[in-house]
Every structure is written in structure tokens, then in C-alpha cells.
Amino acid sequence: MKTNLKLISMKRWSTGAALAIVLILGCKPKESVVNTSRDTVIFTEIRTDTLFNSKQVINILEIPDRMFKDYELQMAYTEKGNKNTSFLAQRANAKAAINGGFFNVEKGGSVTYSERNDSIVSLTCPPEVKWCMPEAMINGAIVFTKDNQLILEPFKSETYYQDSNKESFVLRSGPFLIQDSKKYIPESPFSEKRHPRSCLGKTKNSVLLIAINGRSEEADGMNFTEVQDFLLQLGCTDAINLDGGGSTTLWSKEKGIVNYPTDKTGERPVANAILLAAKQ
């Protein structure tokens, strides 16, 4: 899908440096500074009023692959109730974090399958949950392997992941959006409503934590088809949606919350989060 956007103004911050660049849609942005530090997460904010003929504010934390020599992705979760993404990140001394999968707002806890270190944390649609996400909405999996590789894939089965011992953690989420640099076509059509979105994406040389803001005068949010188009424009080879709406929260150790949560009380407590932290 082509858009009528020609230019997007962006600001990037990295440790000890600030620079402004202009991203031409459809072209890979060129870095004016090459930072070789292993422990630098790059923050980007995009503001535009022409992308998909709408107002958009998008925040991205980019984790260069070189950081995975010393760091790893982790799934943090609550033992009871729900906690803020920032709390889960600070508790683990993380460098970056994004909210995770779908959860029980009232009682707390994940409502999709997850496991960590070969132990089951949660099952999909547990008995105490009155309403569960449709299968088409949770058709993907976030897998981080014991040899430090991020895999974003269509969800296989709970039995498959339980029988496998290759994963450091697994979190079921969705919809699954991008596979092998192509749109992943769902079994049922996407909703065309625009909302805030949280996404996890892979490019050829980095991992992206992405918060698409919405429900405000400055930001309309995106529907899933628009999200797919945008992620492809970012260069994502694989990508998955996380819980969005009021749950969307992006956090960095240097700057705190870097997006614009929409709940009146601010950051929404969640059941789990994806973190970048030092290897355990």
C-alpha cells in the first residue's frame, strides 16, 4: 500500500548524543552518527499528520543486535494482580521495556499461554476468565531461545512449547502481523478501528519495541492493516502485536515512559512485559 507521505520529521536520542534526521518513507534512514557502544538503546519519536491521512505519534526503542552479546530479552510477570510496566522493568534493572500480552483486568494474570525457564506461567483462557480473546487475535508467539535468539512466529500449540526445552520464554499474543517481510494474512478480517498499538518487531540487524499512540487530538492510532504497512516501511522482517489501547506503554531506563498512555490515571497495570536486561 502506498501512502501520500513524503517526509516524516524524527528525533533520535542515544546515550550522550542528540541528533535530528528526516526519514523518507519507503527508504531506510541513514545514520549520521555510528554508535558502536554495546549498551545503547536508540529512542525515536515520529510525529506526522500525513501518514495514512491521519495524525500519528509513534515511539520506538531500537535494540541493535550487537547488544545481545551482553543483554537478553526477558518476560517479566506478576505473581499476583497486575503491575505497571515501569515497575516490572525497574524490578529487573532493565534497560528497556514494553507491555506484554493480554490479561485479566479485574483479577490480574495473563489470559494467554506463557512459560519461562521451562515452567508454565499461564494457560490460554483459564477457567476463571469469563471472556477470552478470539483465536484470530492471539495467533502468534514471542519466543526467546536459550541461545539468545528472538523468534516471532505463528503460535504452534501449548503442547509443542511445553514439550520443547529450547525456549527461555514463550508468550502467546497477536495478531501476528509480519512474517518473512510479508504481511501475515489472518483467518478472519482485521478490525478497521484505530487504536493505540504495542508491537514487537525484528529487522535485519535490530529488535524494535514500538508504541503507536492514539485516542488523542495529536494521535489517531492505527488499524492493523495500517500497522502492517508501517512495520514493513520500518524494515521489519517479522512482527507481532501486543496488548494495546490503554495498556500501550514503552519505557527506557534513561527516559522513563517514552510514549503517551491513554488511561486517565496514566500507566495501566499489566500482567507481563517484555524487557531488555543483562544476561542472567
Closest CA to 118 of 173, 164, 184, 177: 164
- The C-alpha cell that represents 8 in the structure block: 516524516
CA nearest 198: which of 148, 233, 239, 256?
239
Which cell goes with 126? 483459564
128: Cα separation from own chain's centroid: 27
Domain-by-domain residue ranges, the chain?
A: 42-278
Query: Along the 280 residues of the chain, how does pLDDT read in single tens digits?
Result: 334 333 344 544 443 222 223 343 443 333 323 344 556 899 999 999 999 999 999 999 999 999 999 999 999 999 999 999 999 999 999 999 999 999 999 999 999 999 999 999 999 998 888 888 898 899 999 999 999 999 999 999 999 999 999 999 999 999 999 999 999 988 777 888 999 999 999 999 999 999 999 999 999 999 999 999 999 999 999 999 999 999 999 999 999 999 999 999 999 999 999 999 999 9
Give the tens place of pLDDT for each residue, 51-106. 999 999 999 999 999 999 999 999 999 999 999 999 999 999 999 999 999 999 99
Residue 148, classified by CB atoms within 10 Å of its CB into exposed (0-12), middle (13-18) or buried (19+), is middle
Q: What is the mean pLDDT of the chain?
A: 88
pLDDT at 37: 52
